[in-house]
Structure 1
Amino acid sequence: MVEMVARPYEGAFEKYALANPDVLCLSADLTSSCEIDKFRDKHPEQFLSLGMAEQNMLSFAGGLGLAGYRPFIHTFGVFLYRRPYDQLMASIAYPRRKVRLMGFLPGITTPGGMTHQAIEDISVMRSIPNMTILETGDATEVESICEAADSIDGPVYCRVLRGNVPRLFDTPIEVGKMRELSMGDDILIVTSGITTEEALRARSALESAGVSVRHLHLNTIKPFDDQAMLDHIHSVKGGVITLENHVTEGGIGSLIAEIIADNGVGKKLVRLGLKDTYAHGGSRPYLMNYYGLDAIALVKGVEKLTGEQLGISEQDLATTRVEAVHSTVKAEGL
């Protein structure tokens, strides 16, 4: 069983901020929900509460960046780009301020429904000039996200996992470098965030069924090493499947489609994710299954890509679960 780490961001941010006194912690009235409440209580000299006013907070953070500080903004991802989009563009992205946008509850990791689910954030942020996008997929990446984000000379948007997070990797995030998790030569599977755990669950079953899987995990969405990905695409005999906690338009599925199209590669692509829909409220495993973001959806995607029935069932995948069964864990609140 894989180690589960409780609130990995909490300790990681405190350690990083104390080692870098020009780092400031900003909150938008979701302090405990973003695991920075203990930091607020212990280190008030580095903490600022901007209240439930994200537009003002982003402009304020841009001013702090101009003054030489490195503000880390903490709120739910959806509140970092929908409501304050103009301030994000004018005060942070355009002047290339060193503002770190720590977005919690990416995609369907919350039962809060449409208002709290950041399902199109990657597509929005990818289109903004000067913006870097990082996404965490396990506890190790959460623990290293602060240092990774702060290494960028400009604004950074991060999709951050919270609560109990599985540890899947031994090494920290290396900005711009994808993780090569398996190097098969039949099909290429590209995942990010929470979908990587699902692909790990599916991979052994797929290989037992005779499918040689090349599996890549992305933690840097932008900027992106097109040539490295192109080499991987050329290295498989079949096509590519992307699985993401996001709509299929504008996310990593679109990223791979652009690389294939721009380079005239004649290989099939199956994009798995939210299909032109908002998600309703519910537990993470329920939503992942309902909207086709889990291991069995990936198996069906492989069958669609290859045109073969593999005979893999939900029960087969249950025996290869990486993490403790999500449904036995209390659903995340807001």
Structure 2
Amino acid sequence: MSNAATSGKTRLKTSAMIASIAGEGQATRAAPFGHALTALAAERPDVVGMTADLGKYTDLHIFAKAYPERYYQMGMAEQLLMGAAAGLAHEGAVPFVTTYAVFATRRAYDFMHQTIAEDNLDVKIVCALPGLTTGYGPSHQAAEDLALMRAMPNMTVIDPCDALDIEQMVPAIAAHKGPVYARLLRGNVPVVLDEYGYKFELGKAKLLRDGADVLVIASGIMTMRALEVAKALEADRIGVAVLHVPTIKPLDTETIVREARRSGRLVVVAENHTVIGGLTEAVAATLMREGVAVPFRQIGLPDAFLDAGALPTLHDRYGISAERMAGSIKGWL
């Protein structure tokens, strides 16, 4: 790693491929998905693990070591992976399928649509490197995955924030009947939600902290950023509420409308996703349908092919770092 000056501060650079977004000294848990799935499999003999040559890079290797007879390595063939998962689900298994988000949502979209979603099968598609969590450029940056999966009938869509979210998500999506697409943070994953007495519930948004001036509605790593921003803006006497929305579809419209209707607050939707077709547009459409008129702003990735590079640099460049997010909110007030 090398040091670089950004916004007047010395910051650690990451390699382009690193998938962890933990800050220096931040509490983390190693491979929460792999450990949670292995624990679930001890109670659920119908659970199987499948991947397309990415077991090590989606933390599925932990499951594979514990249950080699229930682990299917399909090679670099994502379309085959989805078709085989559909076949196993037809026979009563509950496949947890892992790959990178770009390979599932772009390369194997039709196979998910026709063989899994149309038959409403119990296949759980858990995908690493969501949004801008790698610096390898457009070939690996899944900046539009939520928009694609939201559009697929029968598909539940989840964007977890941290290790706790992932650990609690795994048994919840296994209990859910029907296909699920979940973003995955792998490796050493930050732990932040434990401070807020959080519990994951499928289809439910959670108000993590309250504030009188701004309501930030966020999912995934942007909830983590929103909490950092809320603490930082306390020094400027700006009260920031943070509403975490881990389930993008079905959306918890009741909670979103209730919190947005509280008068006098700027509503900001923050997401690690293109500004097209994700959480922001889902929230905006909900508020419009319900007749809720509020000051409204968006923090997200541009409708563009993103640059390659180190994540701190890219997050600053595209406005999703805590520093840039705080500056945007102060400018809007």
Instruction: Please give the range of the TM-score, normalised by the shorter of the 2 chains.
Output: 0.7 to 0.9
Partner of residue 178, structure 2: 154
Partner of residue 259, structure 1: 286
Provide the C-alpha distance between the structure 2 equivalents of 1:57 and 1:10, rounded to a whole number of angstroms: 19
Give, in angstroms, the shift of residue 2 of structure 1. Answer: 4.7
What residue identity is the alignment partner of 1:24? V
For these two proteins, the number of residue pairs brought into alignment is 306
Provide the C-alpha distance between the structure 1 equivalents of 2:233 and 2:62, rounded to a whole number of angstroms: 44
Secondary structure of the residue aligned to 2:193 is: coil
Contact 1:187–1:236 (CA<8 Å) still a contact in 2?
no
- Alignment partner of 2:276 out of 226, 241, 249: 249
**Displacement over 6 Å in runs of 4+:** none
1:105-149 Cα shifts (integer Å, max 9, x gaps): 111111221111111011111111111011111111121221121
Partner of residue 287, structure 1: 314
What residue identity is the alignment partner of 1:163? G
Spell out the pairing of 1:72-91 with structure 2 (5 A cutoff): 72-91=96-115
What residue identity is the alignment partner of 1:295? A
Alignment pair present for 1:136 and 2:163: no
Alignment pair present for 1:145 and 2:172: no
Secondary structure of the residue aligned to 1:82 is: helix
Give, in angstroms, the shift of residue 246 of structure 1. Answer: 0.5
Report the RMSD for the aligned CA atoms in angstroms.
1.5
What residue identity is the alignment partner of 1:178? A
- Deviating more after overlay: 170-179 vs 7-16: 170-179
Q: Normalization by structure 2: what TM-score?
A: 0.88
What residue identity is the alignment partner of 2:240? V
Spell out the pairing of 1:118-197 with structure 2 (5 A cutoff): 118-170=142-194, 171-197=198-224
Provide the C-alpha distance between the structure 1 equivalents of 2:289 and 2:85, rounded to a whole number of angstroms: 37
Provide the C-alpha distance between the structure 2 equivalents of 1:136 and 1:228, rounded to a whole number of angstroms: 18
Secondary structure of the residue aligned to 2:57 is: helix
What residue identity is the alignment partner of 2:269? T
Spell out the pairing of 1:1-334 with structure 2 (5 A cutoff): 2-170=26-194, 171-306=198-333
1:141-192 Cα shifts (integer Å, max 9, x gaps): 1212211211211000000101111111234411122121111222210111
**Sequence identity percentage:** 36
Provide the C-alpha distance between the structure 2 equivalents of 1:122 and 1:183, rounded to a whole number of angstroms: 27
Contact 1:134–1:149 (CA<8 Å) still a contact in 2?
no
What residue identity is the alignment partner of 1:87? F
What residue identity is the alignment partner of 2:221? I
Secondary structure of the residue aligned to 2:139 is: coil
Secondary structure of the residue aligned to 1:188 is: strand
What residue identity is the alignment partner of 1:74? T
Q: Normalization by structure 1: what TM-score?
A: 0.88
Contact 1:96–1:154 (CA<8 Å) still a contact in 2?
yes
Give, in angstroms, the shift of residue 49 of structure 1. Answer: 1.1
What residue identity is the alignment partner of 2:175? S
Give, in angstroms, the shift of residue 210 of structure 1. Answer: 2.3
Contact 2:230–2:241 (CA<8 Å) still a contact in 1?
no
Q: Which runs of 5+ in 1 are unaligned?
A: 307-334
Q: Which runs of 5+ in 2 are unaligned?
A: 1-24
What residue identity is the alignment partner of 2:286? I
Provide the C-alpha distance between the structure 2 equivalents of 1:161 and 1:201, rounded to a whole number of angstroms: 18
Provide the C-alpha distance between the structure 1 equivalents of 2:54 and 2:174, rounded to a whole number of angstroms: 22
